[in-house]
Structure 1
Amino acid sequence: MRKIVLMASVSLDGFMEGPDREIDWHVVDDELHQHFNDLLRGMGAFLEGRVTYQLMEDFWPTADSDPSTTETEAEFAGIWRETPKIVFSRTLEHAGRNATIRREVDAEEIRALKAQPGGDLCLGGADLGATFMRLDLVDEYRIYVHPVLIGRGKPLFPDSAVRTGLRLAETREFGSGVVLLRHERRAVAPAE
């Protein structure tokens, strides 16, 4: 069965974006970008909220036609175009090539999607991630901690009354100082 993998970059103090939605503090060098390419190339689909989708769609479909684009970035442009995308939005009327719009997150529909053959499903976006966490649909967390404190903004993890048991499956430090923390679900959350 495919897994739903929440991938997110956060500041050391736990924010996905600054108070004005800025992400200019992300430290994405060629090493980290190649890591993303290698990982995302095998995904069966990208599951995204409207904001994340539009941010990506505004740049990546034609990024490899810009002469200043690096080889690694050009490689990702192809991955972005070819990977199916499911965009969850109540307002978006049209999506680009290889994208399908869903108005709501239906837990049963997501479980059926997981049961289909193919690569894992990459989940992106703060609000959509929160919805999937609330519905207990996330199987793996790939959190990329950037070496910066931004002080305020949008946190990755919303307040929750639910405890979720996790197992550390991998850590990796990149030359830029970004650290990957990969956690998988445990069957039972530890007692308090």
Structure 2
Amino acid sequence: MRRIVLMSGVSLDGYIEGPDREIDWHVVDDELHRHFNELIAGMGGILSGRVTHQLMADYWPTADQDPANSGTVAEFAAIWREKPKIVYSRTLERAEWNTTVEHEVDPDRVAALKAEPGGDLVLSGAELAREFLRLGLVDEFRIYVHPVLIGRGKPLFPAGDLRMGLRLTETHRFGNGVVLLRYELSEPAN
């Protein structure tokens, strides 16, 4: 059975973006990009919220056509275009680039997706992650902690009533100081 993997970059103080949606503090070098390329290439699909999907769709479909982008960046553009994607949005009616639009998170439909053959499904976007967590649909966390404090912005995990026991399954330090923390659930959410 496929798993839902919440994957996100965060500042050391837990933010996924600054107060003006800036992510220029993300430290992505060739080593980390190569890691992302290998990881996403093996995934069965990408699940994202509208904002995250539109940010990706504004850049990645043609990123490999820019002569300034080569190597791992150009490689990721091809991976992203071909990967099946589901965008969860109440406002979008359609999306391009191998993308299906879902208007709500339906646990039965997610269970059916997980039962399909293929690789795990990567989940991104703070609002969508919050809904998947609330519904107990996340199986694994891959959190990439960037070596920066930004002080304020949008947290990956906002304050709330959700409590989950986690088991650390992997850590990896990249040369640029980013640290991967990989967790699986050790007890159900409550």
TM class by smaller structure: over 0.9
**CA offset digits 1:38-92 (Å, max 9, x no partner):** 1000111100000000000011011111101021011100100110000000111
The answer to whether the 8 Å contact 2:8/2:16 transfers is yes
Distance of 2:138 and 2:70 partners within structure 1: 32
Distance of 1:137 and 1:180 partners within structure 2: 21
Residue 52 (structure 2) aligns with: 52
Residue 74 (structure 2) aligns with: 74
Structure 2 residues not aligned, in runs of 5+: none
> Is residue 2:76 matched to residue 1:100?
no
Structure 1 residues not aligned, in runs of 5+: none
Report the secondary structure of 2:53's partner residue. helix
**TM score, norm. by length of structure 2:** 0.97
User: How far 1:97 sits from its partner (Å)?
Assistant: 2.4
**TM score, norm. by length of structure 1:** 0.96
The answer to whether the 8 Å contact 2:4/2:137 transfers is yes
Distance of 1:125 and 1:48 partners within structure 2: 6
Runs in 1 of length 4+ with deviation above 4 angstroms? none
> Is residue 2:166 matched to residue 1:166?
yes
Distance of 1:9 and 1:158 partners within structure 2: 15
Report the secondary structure of 1:169's partner residue. strand
Residue 115 (structure 1) aligns with: 115
Report the secondary structure of 1:122's partner residue. strand
Report the secondary structure of 1:129's partner residue. helix
User: How far 1:187 sits from its partner (Å)?
Assistant: 3.5
User: How far 1:188 sits from its partner (Å)?
Assistant: 5.3
Distance of 2:140 and 2:161 partners within structure 1: 19
Identical columns (%)? 68
> Is residue 2:185 matched to residue 1:185?
yes
Letter in 1 for 2:94: H
Residue 141 (structure 2) aligns with: 141
User: How far 1:186 sits from its partner (Å)?
Assistant: 1.3
Distance of 2:49 and 2:6 partners within structure 1: 12
Distance of 2:123 and 2:32 partners within structure 1: 18
Figure out how many residues of one structure are paired with residues of the other and give that number.
189
> Is residue 2:96 matched to residue 1:91?
no
User: How far 1:135 sits from its partner (Å)?
Assistant: 0.6
